[in-house]
Structure 1
Protein backbone atom coordinates (compact mmCIF):
# COMPACT_ATOMS: atom_id res chain seq x y z
CA UNK A 1 0.00 0.00 0.00
CA UNK A 2 1.20 3.53 -0.62
CA UNK A 3 2.30 5.58 2.37
CA UNK A 4 -0.96 7.54 2.13
CA UNK A 5 -3.32 4.57 1.75
CA UNK A 6 -4.61 2.83 -1.35
CA UNK A 7 -3.22 3.08 -4.86
CA UNK A 8 -5.86 3.96 -7.45
CA UNK A 9 -6.59 2.84 -10.98
CA UNK A 10 -9.66 4.39 -12.59
CA UNK A 11 -11.46 4.47 -15.87
CA UNK A 12 -11.75 7.85 -17.58
CA UNK A 13 -15.05 7.96 -19.49
CA UNK A 14 -18.02 7.61 -17.15
CA UNK A 15 -15.85 8.05 -14.05
CA UNK A 16 -14.10 11.40 -14.51
CA UNK A 17 -15.78 12.73 -17.65
CA UNK A 18 -18.89 11.91 -19.61
CA UNK A 19 -19.35 13.06 -23.20
CA UNK A 20 -16.44 15.48 -22.68
CA UNK A 21 -18.10 17.05 -19.62
CA UNK A 22 -16.66 16.88 -16.12
CA UNK A 23 -18.38 14.45 -13.76
CA UNK A 24 -19.24 16.69 -10.78
CA UNK A 25 -16.63 16.30 -8.06
CA UNK A 26 -14.04 14.59 -10.26
CA UNK A 27 -11.74 17.62 -10.14
CA UNK A 28 -11.80 17.68 -6.33
CA UNK A 29 -11.23 13.91 -6.19
CA UNK A 30 -8.17 14.07 -8.46
CA UNK A 31 -6.95 17.12 -6.54
CA UNK A 32 -7.14 15.18 -3.28
CA UNK A 33 -5.16 12.27 -4.71
CA UNK A 34 -2.47 14.65 -5.99
CA UNK A 35 -2.33 16.63 -2.73
CA UNK A 36 -1.85 13.43 -0.74
CA UNK A 37 0.75 12.07 -3.13
CA UNK A 38 -1.40 9.00 -3.75
CA UNK A 39 -0.23 6.92 -6.74
CA UNK A 40 -2.94 6.76 -9.38
CA UNK A 41 -3.44 6.00 -13.06
CA UNK A 42 -6.32 6.97 -15.34
CA UNK A 43 -7.09 4.18 -17.81
CA UNK A 44 -8.85 4.27 -21.14
CA UNK A 45 -9.50 1.70 -23.85
CA UNK A 46 -9.45 4.54 -26.37
CA UNK A 47 -6.31 4.17 -28.50
CA UNK A 48 -6.84 7.24 -30.70
CA UNK A 49 -5.03 9.77 -28.54
CA UNK A 50 -1.61 9.99 -26.91
CA UNK A 51 -1.44 10.73 -23.16
CA UNK A 52 -0.41 14.27 -24.05
CA UNK A 53 -3.54 14.67 -26.20
CA UNK A 54 -5.74 13.26 -23.45
CA UNK A 55 -4.19 15.53 -20.83
CA UNK A 56 -5.07 18.54 -22.99
CA UNK A 57 -8.63 17.27 -23.48
CA UNK A 58 -9.06 16.70 -19.74
CA UNK A 59 -7.69 20.17 -18.95
CA UNK A 60 -10.45 21.65 -21.09
CA UNK A 61 -13.01 20.01 -18.80
CA UNK A 62 -11.26 21.33 -15.68
CA UNK A 63 -9.33 18.17 -14.79
CA UNK A 64 -5.59 18.46 -14.20
CA UNK A 65 -4.21 14.95 -14.74
CA UNK A 66 -0.45 14.60 -15.37
CA UNK A 67 0.52 13.04 -18.69
CA UNK A 68 2.37 10.29 -16.83
CA UNK A 69 -0.82 9.34 -15.00
CA UNK A 70 -2.72 8.38 -18.16
CA UNK A 71 -2.54 4.80 -19.44
CA UNK A 72 -4.16 3.84 -22.74
CA UNK A 73 -4.83 0.55 -24.48
CA UNK A 74 -2.34 1.75 -27.12
CA UNK A 75 0.44 1.99 -24.51
CA UNK A 76 -0.50 -1.39 -23.07
CA UNK A 77 -0.48 -2.91 -26.57
CA UNK A 78 2.93 -1.46 -27.36
CA UNK A 79 4.35 -2.75 -24.08
CA UNK A 80 2.86 -6.19 -24.71
CA UNK A 81 4.34 -6.41 -28.23
CA UNK A 82 7.72 -5.18 -27.00
CA UNK A 83 7.76 -8.02 -24.48
CA UNK A 84 6.55 -10.60 -27.00
CA UNK A 85 8.71 -9.67 -29.97
CA UNK A 86 11.16 -6.81 -29.32
CA UNK A 87 12.03 -4.73 -32.38
CA UNK A 88 9.22 -6.24 -34.44
CA UNK A 89 7.07 -4.83 -37.21
CA UNK A 90 3.37 -4.10 -37.54
CA UNK A 91 0.73 -2.99 -39.99
CA UNK A 92 -1.43 -0.56 -38.04
CA UNK A 93 -5.03 0.42 -38.55
CA UNK A 94 -5.36 3.26 -36.08
CA UNK A 95 -4.37 6.78 -35.20
CA UNK A 96 -1.50 8.69 -33.59
CA UNK A 97 -2.05 7.31 -30.10
CA UNK A 98 -1.28 3.82 -31.37
CA UNK A 99 1.42 4.61 -33.92
CA UNK A 100 3.27 6.85 -31.45
CA UNK A 101 3.18 4.13 -28.78
CA UNK A 102 4.55 1.51 -31.19
CA UNK A 103 7.29 3.81 -32.47
CA UNK A 104 8.30 4.53 -28.86
CA UNK A 105 9.15 0.83 -28.29
CA UNK A 106 11.12 0.60 -31.51
CA UNK A 107 8.52 -1.01 -33.77
CA UNK A 108 8.68 -0.55 -37.54
CA UNK A 109 5.36 0.19 -39.21
CA UNK A 110 5.00 -1.50 -42.57
CA UNK A 111 2.46 -3.05 -44.91
CA UNK A 112 4.92 -5.66 -46.20
CA UNK A 113 5.20 -8.96 -44.33
CA UNK A 114 4.67 -7.50 -40.83
CA UNK A 115 4.93 -9.59 -37.69
CA UNK A 116 1.56 -8.25 -36.53
CA UNK A 117 -1.58 -6.59 -37.77
CA UNK A 118 -2.54 -4.20 -34.98
CA UNK A 119 -6.06 -2.83 -35.00
CA UNK A 120 -6.94 0.23 -32.95
CA UNK A 121 -9.69 2.79 -32.94
CA UNK A 122 -10.05 5.47 -35.58
CA UNK A 123 -12.75 7.79 -36.84
CA UNK A 124 -11.72 7.06 -40.43
CA UNK A 125 -11.78 3.28 -40.96
CA UNK A 126 -11.16 2.76 -44.67
CA UNK A 127 -12.20 -0.19 -46.82
CA UNK A 128 -8.70 -0.23 -48.30
CA UNK A 129 -6.98 -0.44 -44.90
CA UNK A 130 -9.33 -3.17 -43.65
CA UNK A 131 -8.85 -5.15 -46.85
CA UNK A 132 -5.07 -4.88 -46.48
CA UNK A 133 -5.33 -6.06 -42.87
CA UNK A 134 -7.41 -9.07 -43.93
CA UNK A 135 -4.89 -10.08 -46.59
CA UNK A 136 -1.94 -9.73 -44.20
CA UNK A 137 -3.66 -11.82 -41.50
CA UNK A 138 -4.45 -14.47 -44.12
CA UNK A 139 -0.76 -14.40 -45.10
CA UNK A 140 0.33 -15.19 -41.55
CA UNK A 141 0.55 -11.91 -39.62
CA UNK A 142 -0.53 -12.28 -36.01
CA UNK A 143 -3.74 -10.37 -35.23
CA UNK A 144 -3.78 -7.98 -32.27
CA UNK A 145 -6.52 -5.50 -31.30
CA UNK A 146 -6.18 -2.80 -28.69
CA UNK A 147 -9.59 -3.40 -27.13
CA UNK A 148 -12.88 -5.25 -27.69
CA UNK A 149 -15.27 -2.28 -27.38
CA UNK A 150 -17.81 -2.67 -30.19
CA UNK A 151 -19.07 0.89 -30.09
CA UNK A 152 -18.13 4.20 -28.60
CA UNK A 153 -20.05 7.35 -27.62
CA UNK A 154 -20.32 10.60 -29.51
CA UNK A 155 -22.59 13.60 -29.29
CA UNK A 156 -24.40 12.35 -32.39
CA UNK A 157 -24.85 8.82 -31.06
CA UNK A 158 -22.93 5.51 -30.96
CA UNK A 159 -19.99 4.96 -33.31
CA UNK A 160 -18.51 1.62 -34.43
CA UNK A 161 -15.31 0.93 -32.50
CA UNK A 162 -12.39 -1.49 -32.52
CA UNK A 163 -14.34 -4.61 -31.56
CA UNK A 164 -16.82 -4.18 -34.39
CA UNK A 165 -14.10 -3.86 -37.02
CA UNK A 166 -12.15 -6.73 -35.45
CA UNK A 167 -15.24 -8.91 -35.83
CA UNK A 168 -15.33 -8.07 -39.53
CA UNK A 169 -11.67 -9.06 -39.98
CA UNK A 170 -12.18 -12.21 -37.92
CA UNK A 171 -15.19 -13.20 -40.00
CA UNK A 172 -13.23 -12.72 -43.22
CA UNK A 173 -10.09 -14.56 -42.06
CA UNK A 174 -11.26 -17.06 -39.46
CA UNK A 175 -8.56 -15.64 -37.15
CA UNK A 176 -9.60 -14.11 -33.84
CA UNK A 177 -7.55 -11.21 -32.49
CA UNK A 178 -5.84 -11.07 -29.12
CA UNK A 179 -7.34 -8.12 -27.25
CA UNK A 180 -4.95 -6.29 -24.92
CA UNK A 181 -7.28 -3.68 -23.36
CA UNK A 182 -9.98 -4.12 -20.75
CA UNK A 183 -11.41 -6.54 -19.73
CA UNK A 184 -8.05 -8.28 -20.24
CA UNK A 185 -6.39 -8.00 -16.80
CA UNK A 186 -3.12 -7.56 -18.69
CA UNK A 187 -3.96 -3.86 -18.98
CA UNK A 188 -4.43 -3.61 -15.22
CA UNK A 189 -1.12 -5.32 -14.55
CA UNK A 190 0.76 -3.09 -16.97
CA UNK A 191 -0.76 -0.02 -15.27
CA UNK A 192 0.25 -1.41 -11.87
CA UNK A 193 3.83 -1.74 -13.07
CA UNK A 194 3.74 1.81 -14.36
CA UNK A 195 2.96 3.16 -10.85
CA UNK A 196 5.06 0.49 -9.08
CA UNK A 197 2.04 -0.79 -7.17
CA UNK A 198 0.81 -4.22 -6.07
CA UNK A 199 -2.64 -5.64 -6.73
CA UNK A 200 -3.44 -6.32 -3.08
CA UNK A 201 -3.00 -2.61 -2.24
CA UNK A 202 -4.77 -1.17 -5.26
CA UNK A 203 -8.38 -0.57 -6.20
CA UNK A 204 -10.07 -0.05 -9.55
CA UNK A 205 -12.85 2.50 -10.03
CA UNK A 206 -15.05 1.98 -13.06
CA UNK A 207 -18.51 2.58 -14.46
CA UNK A 208 -18.84 -0.71 -16.36
CA UNK A 209 -19.31 -4.14 -14.85
CA UNK A 210 -18.28 -5.98 -18.02
CA UNK A 211 -14.91 -4.26 -18.48
CA UNK A 212 -13.76 -2.21 -15.49
CA UNK A 213 -15.02 -4.36 -12.62
CA UNK A 214 -14.31 -7.64 -14.39
CA UNK A 215 -10.72 -6.74 -15.28
CA UNK A 216 -10.12 -5.37 -11.80
CA UNK A 217 -11.37 -8.57 -10.19
CA UNK A 218 -9.33 -10.77 -12.55
CA UNK A 219 -6.20 -8.74 -11.74
CA UNK A 220 -6.78 -9.23 -8.01
CA UNK A 221 -7.86 -5.65 -7.21
CA UNK A 222 -10.56 -4.30 -4.96
CA UNK A 223 -13.22 -2.65 -7.13
CA UNK A 224 -15.60 0.28 -6.87
CA UNK A 225 -18.49 0.61 -9.32
CA UNK A 226 -19.63 4.21 -9.76
CA UNK A 227 -23.10 4.93 -11.14
CA UNK A 228 -22.08 8.00 -13.14
CA UNK A 229 -21.60 6.11 -16.40
CA UNK A 230 -22.82 2.93 -18.10
CA UNK A 231 -23.82 0.40 -15.42
CA UNK A 232 -26.62 1.20 -13.00
CA UNK A 233 -27.23 -0.48 -9.66
CA UNK A 234 -29.90 -2.71 -11.20
CA UNK A 235 -27.60 -3.66 -14.10
CA UNK A 236 -24.87 -4.70 -11.68
CA UNK A 237 -27.22 -7.26 -10.12
CA UNK A 238 -27.39 -9.15 -13.43
CA UNK A 239 -23.72 -10.15 -13.36
CA UNK A 240 -22.36 -13.28 -11.64
CA UNK A 241 -19.67 -11.21 -9.90
CA UNK A 242 -19.89 -8.11 -7.74
CA UNK A 243 -17.76 -5.05 -7.09
CA UNK A 244 -16.32 -4.60 -3.61
CA UNK A 245 -18.61 -1.60 -3.18
CA UNK A 246 -20.87 0.75 -5.16
CA UNK A 247 -20.79 4.55 -5.04
CA UNK A 248 -22.82 7.19 -6.84
CA UNK A 249 -19.70 8.85 -8.25
CA UNK A 250 -16.14 9.69 -7.34
CA UNK A 251 -17.56 12.70 -5.48
CA UNK A 252 -18.58 10.22 -2.78
CA UNK A 253 -14.90 9.35 -2.27
CA UNK A 254 -13.74 12.89 -1.52
CA UNK A 255 -12.33 12.93 2.01
CA UNK A 256 -12.31 9.11 2.00
CA UNK A 257 -9.43 8.30 -0.31
CA UNK A 258 -7.44 6.69 2.51
CA UNK A 259 -10.41 4.53 3.56
CA UNK A 260 -12.73 4.31 0.54
CA UNK A 261 -14.62 1.29 1.85
CA UNK A 262 -15.73 2.87 5.11
CA UNK A 263 -19.54 3.07 5.37
CA UNK A 264 -20.90 6.37 4.08
CA UNK A 265 -22.41 8.83 6.55
Structure 2
Protein backbone atom coordinates (compact mmCIF):
# COMPACT_ATOMS: atom_id res chain seq x y z
CA UNK A 1 0.00 0.00 0.00
CA UNK A 2 1.28 3.49 -0.79
CA UNK A 3 0.46 6.96 0.45
CA UNK A 4 0.49 9.70 -2.19
CA UNK A 5 2.61 7.49 -4.42
CA UNK A 6 5.27 6.87 -1.77
CA UNK A 7 6.07 3.75 0.14
CA UNK A 8 5.22 4.34 3.82
CA UNK A 9 7.52 3.43 6.68
CA UNK A 10 6.93 -0.05 8.09
CA UNK A 11 4.70 -0.43 11.12
CA UNK A 12 1.67 1.59 12.23
CA UNK A 13 1.68 5.26 11.43
CA UNK A 14 -0.57 8.25 11.03
CA UNK A 15 -0.97 9.64 7.49
CA UNK A 16 1.55 12.19 6.39
CA UNK A 17 -0.78 15.17 6.77
CA UNK A 18 -1.17 18.32 8.80
CA UNK A 19 -4.29 20.10 9.95
CA UNK A 20 -4.73 23.77 9.09
CA UNK A 21 -6.66 26.22 11.24
CA UNK A 22 -9.60 25.97 8.83
CA UNK A 23 -9.76 22.20 9.24
CA UNK A 24 -8.44 21.39 5.76
CA UNK A 25 -5.83 18.67 5.39
CA UNK A 26 -2.72 19.75 3.49
CA UNK A 27 0.07 17.71 1.99
CA UNK A 28 3.48 18.23 3.55
CA UNK A 29 6.55 18.74 1.42
CA UNK A 30 9.24 16.03 1.16
CA UNK A 31 11.58 15.84 4.15
CA UNK A 32 14.83 17.67 3.38
CA UNK A 33 16.01 18.31 6.96
CA UNK A 34 16.05 15.88 9.87
CA UNK A 35 16.03 16.51 13.62
CA UNK A 36 16.27 13.55 15.97
CA UNK A 37 16.23 13.03 19.70
CA UNK A 38 19.11 10.97 21.06
CA UNK A 39 18.06 8.92 24.10
CA UNK A 40 15.27 6.53 23.23
CA UNK A 41 15.71 7.07 19.50
CA UNK A 42 19.35 6.43 18.61
CA UNK A 43 20.49 4.92 21.91
CA UNK A 44 18.67 3.18 24.74
CA UNK A 45 20.12 2.36 28.16
CA UNK A 46 23.69 2.77 26.92
CA UNK A 47 23.31 0.69 23.74
CA UNK A 48 22.59 1.72 20.15
CA UNK A 49 19.06 1.09 18.91
CA UNK A 50 19.17 -1.48 16.07
CA UNK A 51 19.18 0.38 12.78
CA UNK A 52 20.42 3.66 14.28
CA UNK A 53 23.92 3.37 12.81
CA UNK A 54 22.52 2.71 9.33
CA UNK A 55 20.05 5.59 9.70
CA UNK A 56 22.90 7.98 10.53
CA UNK A 57 25.07 6.62 7.70
CA UNK A 58 22.25 6.97 5.19
CA UNK A 59 21.56 10.53 6.30
CA UNK A 60 25.22 11.48 5.96
CA UNK A 61 25.39 9.92 2.49
CA UNK A 62 22.21 11.70 1.38
CA UNK A 63 23.70 15.12 2.09
CA UNK A 64 20.51 16.19 3.85
CA UNK A 65 21.25 18.36 6.90
CA UNK A 66 20.50 16.69 10.22
CA UNK A 67 20.87 17.48 13.88
CA UNK A 68 20.71 15.27 16.95
CA UNK A 69 18.89 17.06 19.79
CA UNK A 70 19.17 16.28 23.48
CA UNK A 71 17.94 17.88 26.68
CA UNK A 72 21.07 16.54 28.37
CA UNK A 73 23.24 19.54 29.27
CA UNK A 74 26.01 17.60 31.04
CA UNK A 75 28.27 17.00 28.05
CA UNK A 76 29.72 19.21 25.33
CA UNK A 77 28.82 18.18 21.82
CA UNK A 78 32.38 16.94 21.27
CA UNK A 79 31.94 14.71 24.31
CA UNK A 80 28.63 13.40 22.99
CA UNK A 81 30.08 12.81 19.53
CA UNK A 82 32.83 10.69 21.09
CA UNK A 83 30.35 8.76 23.24
CA UNK A 84 28.16 8.04 20.22
CA UNK A 85 31.21 6.99 18.18
CA UNK A 86 32.06 4.43 20.88
CA UNK A 87 28.62 2.92 20.22
CA UNK A 88 29.20 2.79 16.46
CA UNK A 89 27.21 5.95 15.64
CA UNK A 90 29.18 8.40 13.51
CA UNK A 91 27.62 11.72 14.46
CA UNK A 92 29.97 14.72 14.06
CA UNK A 93 30.04 17.26 16.87
CA UNK A 94 28.55 19.96 14.69
CA UNK A 95 25.49 17.73 14.12
CA UNK A 96 24.61 17.74 17.84
CA UNK A 97 22.46 20.38 19.55
CA UNK A 98 22.02 20.34 23.31
CA UNK A 99 19.79 22.23 25.73
CA UNK A 100 23.00 23.83 27.06
CA UNK A 101 23.79 25.30 23.64
CA UNK A 102 20.20 26.46 23.21
CA UNK A 103 20.27 28.06 26.67
CA UNK A 104 23.55 29.86 25.94
CA UNK A 105 22.18 31.20 22.66
CA UNK A 106 18.97 32.33 24.37
CA UNK A 107 20.87 34.20 27.10
CA UNK A 108 23.25 35.78 24.59
CA UNK A 109 20.26 37.08 22.64
CA UNK A 110 18.46 38.34 25.74
CA UNK A 111 21.38 39.91 27.56
CA UNK A 112 24.66 39.90 25.57
CA UNK A 113 27.85 39.44 27.61
CA UNK A 114 25.88 38.96 30.80
CA UNK A 115 26.68 37.00 33.92
CA UNK A 116 25.29 33.83 35.46
CA UNK A 117 25.55 31.62 38.50
CA UNK A 118 25.54 28.10 37.08
CA UNK A 119 24.63 24.75 38.54
CA UNK A 120 25.74 22.23 35.94
CA UNK A 121 28.66 20.56 34.26
CA UNK A 122 31.05 21.12 31.36
CA UNK A 123 28.40 21.08 28.65
CA UNK A 124 26.66 24.09 30.17
CA UNK A 125 29.63 26.05 31.47
CA UNK A 126 31.50 25.64 28.17
CA UNK A 127 28.49 26.82 26.17
CA UNK A 128 28.09 29.90 28.35
CA UNK A 129 31.79 30.76 28.21
CA UNK A 130 31.65 30.49 24.41
CA UNK A 131 28.68 32.88 24.49
CA UNK A 132 30.89 35.44 26.30
CA UNK A 133 29.14 34.99 29.63
CA UNK A 134 30.88 35.56 32.96
CA UNK A 135 30.22 32.82 35.52
CA UNK A 136 29.97 34.33 38.99
CA UNK A 137 28.04 34.21 42.24
CA UNK A 138 28.34 37.97 42.74
CA UNK A 139 25.15 39.73 41.63
CA UNK A 140 24.66 37.61 38.49
CA UNK A 141 22.05 38.49 35.90
CA UNK A 142 20.82 34.90 35.89
CA UNK A 143 20.79 31.72 37.89
CA UNK A 144 21.11 28.95 35.31
CA UNK A 145 20.22 25.42 36.35
CA UNK A 146 21.36 22.47 34.26
CA UNK A 147 21.97 18.76 34.68
CA UNK A 148 24.59 17.25 36.95
CA UNK A 149 25.05 13.88 38.60
CA UNK A 150 26.16 15.61 41.81
CA UNK A 151 23.64 18.30 42.76
CA UNK A 152 25.06 20.18 45.74
CA UNK A 153 22.79 21.39 48.54
CA UNK A 154 25.10 24.33 49.11
CA UNK A 155 24.86 25.31 45.41
CA UNK A 156 21.07 25.04 45.51
CA UNK A 157 21.01 27.20 48.65
CA UNK A 158 23.19 29.80 46.95
CA UNK A 159 20.90 29.76 43.90
CA UNK A 160 17.86 30.34 46.10
CA UNK A 161 19.46 33.33 47.80
CA UNK A 162 20.57 34.85 44.49
CA UNK A 163 17.07 34.51 43.05
CA UNK A 164 15.67 36.08 46.20
CA UNK A 165 18.13 38.91 45.54
CA UNK A 166 16.76 39.52 42.05
CA UNK A 167 18.61 37.13 39.71
CA UNK A 168 16.46 35.78 36.87
CA UNK A 169 15.87 32.02 36.90
CA UNK A 170 16.56 29.94 33.76
CA UNK A 171 16.79 26.15 33.48
CA UNK A 172 18.02 24.05 30.60
CA UNK A 173 15.15 21.55 30.59
CA UNK A 174 12.09 20.47 32.58
CA UNK A 175 12.84 16.71 32.75
CA UNK A 176 12.14 15.62 36.37
CA UNK A 177 14.21 12.44 36.15
CA UNK A 178 17.01 11.14 33.98
CA UNK A 179 17.95 7.59 33.02
CA UNK A 180 20.90 5.59 34.31
CA UNK A 181 21.83 1.93 34.31
CA UNK A 182 20.93 1.83 38.01
CA UNK A 183 17.52 3.47 37.51
CA UNK A 184 16.05 6.97 37.54
CA UNK A 185 18.05 9.96 38.78
CA UNK A 186 16.64 13.33 39.90
CA UNK A 187 17.11 15.76 37.04
CA UNK A 188 16.83 19.46 36.26
CA UNK A 189 13.06 19.70 36.51
CA UNK A 190 12.96 18.16 39.98
CA UNK A 191 15.66 20.47 41.33
CA UNK A 192 14.00 23.46 39.65
CA UNK A 193 10.78 22.57 41.47
CA UNK A 194 12.67 22.64 44.78
CA UNK A 195 14.06 26.10 44.03
CA UNK A 196 10.66 27.35 42.91
CA UNK A 197 9.07 26.03 46.08
CA UNK A 198 11.64 27.93 48.14
CA UNK A 199 11.54 31.21 46.18
CA UNK A 200 8.12 31.34 44.53
CA UNK A 201 9.92 32.04 41.21
CA UNK A 202 9.24 29.80 38.21
CA UNK A 203 12.17 29.17 35.85
CA UNK A 204 12.12 29.70 32.11
CA UNK A 205 12.86 26.28 30.60
CA UNK A 206 14.73 26.51 27.29
CA UNK A 207 14.91 22.83 26.28
CA UNK A 208 12.18 20.58 24.93
CA UNK A 209 9.20 20.86 24.93
CA UNK A 210 9.84 24.58 24.45
CA UNK A 211 9.56 25.07 20.66
CA UNK A 212 12.36 27.63 21.04
CA UNK A 213 14.84 24.74 21.00
CA UNK A 214 13.33 23.48 17.75
CA UNK A 215 13.51 26.91 16.16
CA UNK A 216 17.14 27.40 17.12
CA UNK A 217 17.87 23.91 15.78
CA UNK A 218 16.18 24.87 12.51
CA UNK A 219 18.39 27.94 12.32
CA UNK A 220 21.47 25.78 12.85
CA UNK A 221 20.63 23.45 9.94
CA UNK A 222 19.19 26.23 7.80
CA UNK A 223 15.92 24.35 7.49
CA UNK A 224 12.29 25.29 6.95
CA UNK A 225 9.56 23.89 9.17
CA UNK A 226 7.44 22.54 6.31
CA UNK A 227 10.37 20.44 5.05
CA UNK A 228 11.74 19.27 8.41
CA UNK A 229 10.97 16.14 10.43
CA UNK A 230 11.40 15.69 14.18
CA UNK A 231 11.94 12.11 15.37
CA UNK A 232 11.37 11.47 19.06
CA UNK A 233 10.34 8.89 21.63
CA UNK A 234 8.28 11.12 23.94
CA UNK A 235 4.90 12.63 23.17
CA UNK A 236 5.23 15.17 26.00
CA UNK A 237 8.55 16.65 24.87
CA UNK A 238 9.75 15.70 21.38
CA UNK A 239 6.40 15.45 19.62
CA UNK A 240 4.63 18.41 21.22
CA UNK A 241 7.66 20.61 20.57
CA UNK A 242 7.71 19.50 16.94
CA UNK A 243 3.98 20.11 16.58
CA UNK A 244 4.26 23.62 18.04
CA UNK A 245 7.18 24.40 15.73
CA UNK A 246 5.23 23.23 12.68
CA UNK A 247 7.46 20.24 11.88
CA UNK A 248 6.57 16.79 10.62
CA UNK A 249 6.57 14.65 13.76
CA UNK A 250 7.55 10.99 13.94
CA UNK A 251 7.22 8.93 17.13
CA UNK A 252 9.40 5.85 17.59
CA UNK A 253 8.40 3.23 20.15
CA UNK A 254 11.88 2.43 21.47
CA UNK A 255 11.81 4.92 24.33
CA UNK A 256 9.35 6.40 26.81
CA UNK A 257 5.94 6.61 25.09
CA UNK A 258 4.11 3.34 24.40
CA UNK A 259 1.84 2.89 21.41
CA UNK A 260 -1.28 2.57 23.59
CA UNK A 261 -0.51 5.95 25.19
CA UNK A 262 -0.49 7.98 21.97
CA UNK A 263 -4.27 8.43 21.84
CA UNK A 264 -4.36 10.01 25.31
CA UNK A 265 -2.75 13.20 24.06
CA UNK A 266 -4.72 16.03 22.41
CA UNK A 267 -2.12 16.24 19.62
CA UNK A 268 -0.80 13.46 17.42
CA UNK A 269 2.35 12.67 15.50
CA UNK A 270 2.24 12.36 11.74
CA UNK A 271 3.78 8.90 11.99
CA UNK A 272 4.25 6.22 14.63
CA UNK A 273 6.85 3.55 13.83
CA UNK A 274 8.45 0.74 15.84
CA UNK A 275 11.98 2.16 15.63
CA UNK A 276 14.42 4.38 13.78
CA UNK A 277 15.16 1.44 11.48
CA UNK A 278 11.70 1.91 9.94
CA UNK A 279 12.63 5.40 8.74
CA UNK A 280 15.73 4.53 6.72
CA UNK A 281 13.72 4.16 3.51
CA UNK A 282 12.25 7.65 3.96
CA UNK A 283 15.64 9.37 3.71
CA UNK A 284 15.90 9.03 -0.04
CA UNK A 285 12.24 9.88 -0.76
Q: Secondary structure at the match of 2:163?
A: helix
1:70-118 CA distance string (max 9 Å, x none): 0000000000000000000000000000000000010000000000000
Question: Contact conserved, 2:37 with 2:69, CA < 8 A, in 1?
Answer: yes
**Equivalent residue in structure 2 for 1:65, among 59, 76, 91:** 91
Unpaired runs of 5+ residues, structure 1, are 260-265
Q: TM-score, normalised by structure 1?
A: 0.95
Offset of 1:27 from its aligned partner?
0.2
Q: TM-score, normalised by structure 2?
A: 0.89
Matches within 5 A, 1:1-265: 5-259=31-285
Offset of 1:6 from its aligned partner?
2.0
Please give the alpha-carbon distance, in whole angstroms, between the structure 2 residues aligned to 1:255 and 1:229. 21
Please give the alpha-carbon distance, in whole angstroms, between the structure 1 residues aligned to 2:111 and 2:32. 34
Moved more, 79-88 or 247-256: 247-256
Please give the alpha-carbon distance, in whole angstroms, between the structure 1 residues aligned to 2:31 and 2:255. 26
Q: How many residues align?
A: 256
Offset of 1:258 from its aligned partner?
3.4
Stretches of 4+ moved more than 3 A in 1? none
Q: Which is bigger in relative contact order (C-alpha 8 A, separation at least 6)?
A: 2
Please give the alpha-carbon distance, in whole angstroms, between the structure 2 residues aligned to 1:93 and 1:130. 8
Q: Secondary structure at the match of 1:237?
A: helix
Unpaired runs of 5+ residues, structure 2, are 1-29
Question: Contact conserved, 2:62 with 2:284, CA < 8 A, in 1?
Answer: no
Question: Contact conserved, 1:6 with 1:258, CA < 8 A, in 2?
Answer: no
Which of 1 and 2 has greater Rg?
Answer: 2
Offset of 1:232 from its aligned partner?
1.1
Please give the alpha-carbon distance, in whole angstroms, between the structure 2 residues aligned to 1:241 and 1:196. 26
Question: Contact conserved, 1:5 with 1:258, CA < 8 A, in 2?
Answer: no
Please give the alpha-carbon distance, in whole angstroms, between the structure 2 residues aligned to 1:255 and 1:176. 43
Please give the alpha-carbon distance, in whole angstroms, between the structure 2 residues aligned to 1:245 and 1:203. 10
Please give the alpha-carbon distance, in whole angstroms, between the structure 2 residues aligned to 1:187 and 1:5. 19
Please give the alpha-carbon distance, in whole angstroms, between the structure 1 residues aligned to 2:257 and 2:181. 19
